[in-house]
Structure 1
Amino acid sequence: MRRPTAIILLLTCTVVTAQLRSLPVERSGLNGYAPRFFRQKPIVESVDPAPGPAMPPPPPSDPPSSSGPGQDGGGGGGGGGGGVRLSDVMGRDRSINVFAGFTRDIESASRRLDDQGRNTTVLAPLNSAVGKLPRKPWEDPRDYQQLGADAYEGDDGRDKAQRNIQRFVEAHMVGVSPWPENTKAKTIGDDRDVWWETKDGVKFIQPGNIEVVSVASTVANGEVWIIKEVRNYA
């Protein structure tokens, strides 16, 4: 009777061994495998943090300003507040981008266009008007007469060219805005009077009888007027 008992025990061991081999395993180190349940991490129940003190609701954000570019500034110039400035709009109209580029190159002009404490009326000539000039805006016949063809060579020549272009730009910047009709004003570059008048519904800059094509921009610190010709800046 012992033999059947031994056979039963042998079969039982075989079944247990087969069940152990069928368990899923994962690598444990570099030297072998271990059943997954041997490496299972303890389960920790998540605990909600204790409620803190009640926080007041955030203040409402400021509503956006309803004033448009033409409503900012005006008159004698405002403080250093926000608003669109001349320096923001000078490059918008491609028909005057040559002159706009000159204003960025001249420090006195670029500062003025960015200054909300001083209003300005910019008389920006068309690109075609600048292109029709008998000489470049940075050239002066007197420099050629005195120094010849190399008048603008070297550091001294570049300084002369910079001064000439500054004179050109400042002759097209009137130091007032709004600028009433027939009111004599001065450009920021010299003391000569300049004014404008209306003929048949069209504005003309005087002296020179230069037609104003349009008022391109009205912003916090002034206006940009596009003009058909270049003012006399010599």
Structure 2
Amino acid sequence: MKPSTLATLLVTSGLLIASSHAQLIPFFTKPSSQAASHHQQQQQQQPMDANAPGIQLPAPSSSGNTPSSAPPPNSDVILSDVIGNQRQINIFAGFTRDISSVSTRLDTTSLNTTVLAPVNSAISDLPRKPWEDPRDYSELGASAYEGQAGEDRASRNLRRFTEAHVIPASPWKEGEKVRSMGGAEVWWENRGGKAVVQPGNVEVDRVVSRVANGEVWVLKGVLNYAS
């Protein structure tokens, strides 16, 4: 082989290798600035600290209000801003965003609200899903939630469940009977130093948020939501 031919082949091979290497580089480059920013925001986002100052169980006071020792609510945020900050109630938090009547209320600064959010385990342990109703299965069979009509039926049931846990009052006084958004009359009382929502003796685990338009209470169980 002539020297000139060999030199030409070497140069051509070198160009091919360089071209292949250039094509591989994007797979190993760092994420774009937008992706990096999103990743950084995910790392910085932390669940609300349930043990932060002023976050405690509602307790009776001489005036009958929720804690007289409680600090003023955070006026910079509203319920729709914080409802999703607690992992242990994120199932119910998702329901509040899906039900327009509830999401609108939590997003309205002029409407004070107490959200009674069951823990995830309480919802998971229900004998049926919140959007299911035994009467639907009795009347329509296994296909009760199929098709558009079934979706509408499930949506109504989920709305009933969610609205049963939204109280249009805050602060909510001990013993004060208020009708939930779902229409049931509920109140809370002190039982041996623990706040219990009635009817049903559903214990309040703690209050995790106090903001401009209300509070979020974590419940250890689920309120009766049957119509």
Q: TM-score, normalised by structure 1?
A: 0.65
**When you count helix as a share of all residues, which structure comes out higher?**
2
Which of 108, 120, 125 is the matching residue for 1:115? 108
Residue of structure 1 equivalent to 2:204: 212
- TM-superposed CA distance for 1:165, in Å, is 0.3
Correspondence 1:194 to 2:186: yes
Alignment of structure 1 residues 90-109 onto 2, 5 Å: 90-109=83-102
Aligned length: 156
Q: Distance in 1 between matches of 2:110 and 2:172?
A: 16
Which of 64, 69, 73 is the matching residue for 1:70? 73
Query: Which sections of structure 1, spanning at least 5 residues, go unmatched?
Result: 1-67, 73-82
- TM-superposed CA distance for 1:151, in Å, is 0.3
Correspondence 1:226 to 2:218: yes
- TM-superposed CA distance for 1:69, in Å, is 7.5
Correspondence 1:128 to 2:121: yes
Correspondence 1:137 to 2:130: yes
Residue of structure 1 equivalent to 2:32: none
Q: Distance in 2 between matches of 1:71 and 1:173?
A: 20
Aligned-partner residue type, residue 222 of structure 2: V
Aligned-partner residue type, residue 83 of structure 2: M
Q: Secondary structure at the match of 2:73?
A: helix
Correspondence 1:163 to 2:156: yes
Q: Secondary structure at the match of 1:70?
A: coil
Q: Distance in 2 between matches of 1:193 and 1:157?
A: 29
Q: Distance in 2 between matches of 1:129 and 1:71?
A: 28
Kept after mapping to 2: 8 A contact 1:69/1:84 = no
* Residues 32-65 of structure 1, C-alpha deviations (whole Å, 9 max, x = no match): xxxxxxxxxxxxxxxxxxxxxxxxxxxxxxxxxx
* Residues 17-46 of structure 1, C-alpha deviations (whole Å, 9 max, x = no match): xxxxxxxxxxxxxxxxxxxxxxxxxxxxxx
Residue of structure 1 equivalent to 2:42: none
Query: Which sections of structure 2, spanning at least 5 residues, go unmatched?
Result: 1-70
Q: Distance in 2 between matches of 1:142 and 1:167?
A: 14
Q: Distance in 1 between matches of 2:72 and 2:102?
A: 21
Q: Distance in 2 between matches of 1:187 and 1:123?
A: 10
Share of identical aligned residues, percent? 60
- Report 1 or 2 for greater relative contact order, CA contacts < 8 Å, sequence distance ≥ 6: 2
- TM-superposed CA distance for 1:112, in Å, is 0.7
Residue of structure 2 equivalent to 1:89: 82
- TM-superposed CA distance for 1:71, in Å, is 4.3
Q: Runs ≥4 in structure 1, deviation > 4 angstroms?
A: none
Larger radius of gyration: 1
Q: Distance in 2 between matches of 1:71 and 1:131?
A: 31
